[in-house]
Amino acid sequence: MPAVAEVPTLAHTAVGDLRGTVEGGVAVWRGVPYAQQPVGERRFAAPAPLPAWTGVRDAVEHGPLPLQSRSLVAGDRNNPKIRDEACLTLTVWSPETSASLPVMVWIPGGAFLTGAGQLQLYKGSRLAAHGNVVVVNVSYRVGVFGGFELGDLGEGFDDNLCLRDQIAALAWVRDNIAAFGGDPHRVTAFGQSAGATSILAMLASPAADGLFARAIVQSPALPLIADRATRAEQARQFLDRLGVGPKAIKELPQRQLRRAAGELQLASVATTPTLAHGLTYGVDLLPRHPIEAARAGTVTRLPLIIGANRHEASIFARSKPPMLPTTPANINRCLSRLGPQARERVLAAYPGYPRRRARIALGGDAMFGAGVWAFADAYSAHAPTYVYRFDHTPWVLRALGLGAVHGSEIVQIQHNYASQLGRRLHPLGSWLQPAVGRRMQRTWLDFATKGWSDGHSWSDDWPPYDTRRRATRVIRSWSDVVLDDPDAVRRSAWAGLF
């Protein structure tokens, strides 16, 4: 890596020059716009290309967070404080701007309600420095402005806005990342939860074909992708709550719009695991649900890591109301839509039901696990697929009785142990990195950097997944192990239901 003083921070993009800064030997550019800001008449419209500018723009400060409510991840004291609809920016970290390094593009999660690439938990400097890669963090519209489907309201309303924003950001990476020391032909998209869901949607979207060459998908929530008719009815209910026509919502105060969408989100607990915020299939951008597309072979074929955490739903079971099917009432509603035979088959896979442990396992599988198994089964017939299960439970989560909860793997990959969530999970992590974090970050970096041109596999100890063996890497606290079909009973119970 070059000396700090030698890392250039002036980047010549396709539309203008940007000046960043250097922190810890890594160049960083913040608040980089990748599309016109979606304000005024552009509210609820697809992202538009940036106009060119003259001179040099400073890219030192973060842009605003997307409008959203407070959350555990977004509550870090070092996160940006300003939230605004003008949020289409990204952050770039590069350890060597004159090189042509592999690129990792982070798509953050947050149930399509919260989240942003600027959050401290997702800071990419350590990943860039440790792996000698360029890291790009994307912020996109969430909540009513991006994650709530209004595409059927007519002219001026485009569908799947959050997905369109992410595709626009990846197109920006393709066109500009060489100016930051990145190789546009070696791009790995990686994301968690809603971000992971979006990456699978992009594999099924013709518009995203060719924008990335590898993918890492952490805990995708595939039930959050609903059909067009469901979303159109939801948009009608949204207008009814507001008492206005489509044109009027272009000018309504953001708080009023967010309140109406939030009420529908709470009401959608009755249809969990499908909720009011999410993506829409059956449209040009996303013709099929990703699982259906994978079964039909109409997906982009590239190496894929996909997996989930062992106790995904435990943290959601404590929310009020619980948005995942973790209560007997929610579970009964969820399974009743599958039919009586399927209901009995699924319940039989969770011994002790309706005890809490069984309910949490079922809820986690309904939202995350079952979709992972179904997608991996289908996609592995077309492209190299590697499946994991994250089991590591730090003592804090063990003491709380939560286990390997949703999102607890992120800090192990980014090594942001000084973030608010990082300090809670691993209070000593900034001084003594957990063994699981060292292994997991190295594995993710190996996937993004190795085996591009020499004909060798990127890994010698992680066998590809197939439906004969279903080899799964189980990521534990002190060591990892590959097991064949470790959740066979539960996986079989959900087979054919997704």
pTM of the shown model: 0.96
The answer to whether 350 and 339 have CB atoms below 8 angstroms apart is no
Q: Are 1-266+280-302 and 308-497 equal in CATH topology?
A: yes
Across the chain, what does the average pLDDT equal? 94
| The predicted structure's pLDDT at residue 8 | 82
| The predicted structure's pLDDT at residue 71 | 63
| The predicted structure's pLDDT at residue 75 | 58
**CATH class entry, domain 1-266+280-302:** alpha beta
Phi-psi region of 242 (alpha: psi -120 to 50; beta: other; left: phi over 0): alpha
> How many Cα atoms sit within 13 Å of 242 on the Cβ side?
26
Average pLDDT over residues 407-430: 88
Q: Band of the pLDDT at 93, cuts 50, 70, 90? A: very high
Q: How far apart are CA 108 and CA 194, in angstroms?
A: 7
CATH number for the domain whose boundaries are 308-497: 3.40.50.1820
If one compares 191 and 454, the residue with the highest pLDDT of the two is 191
Residue written as token pair 């700090």: 4
Helix-then-strand count for the chain, H and E? 15, 16
| The predicted structure's pLDDT at residue 427 | 85
Q: Band of the pLDDT at 348, cuts 50, 70, 90? A: very high
pLDDT in tens, 361-405: 999 999 999 999 999 999 999 999 999 999 999 999 999 999 999
The single-letter code of the amino acid at 446 is D
The answer to whether 218 and 192 have CB atoms below 8 angstroms apart is yes
Q: Band of the pLDDT at 227, cuts 50, 70, 90? A: very high
Edge to edge, the sheet with strand 26-33 lists 21-23, 26-33, 89-94, 134-138, 101-107, 182-192, 214-218, 304-309, 385-390, 471-475, 480-484
Average pLDDT over residues 335-361: 95
| The predicted structure's pLDDT at residue 1 | 44
Q: What percent of the chain has pLDDT over 70?
A: 97
214 three-state secondary structure: strand
Q: How far apart are CA 198 and CA 108, in angstroms?
A: 10
Task: Please give the C-alpha separations between residue 423 and each of 120, 127, 433, in angstroms, as whole numbers.
Answer: 12, 18, 12
| The predicted structure's pLDDT at residue 74 | 53
The answer to whether 127 and 104 have CB atoms below 8 angstroms apart is yes
| The predicted structure's pLDDT at residue 113 | 95
Q: What are the structural domain ranges in the chain?
A: 1-266+280-302, 308-497
Q: In the predicted model, is pLDDT for residue 5 greater than 60?
A: no
pLDDT in tens, 97-136: 999 999 999 999 999 999 999 999 999 999 999 999 999 9
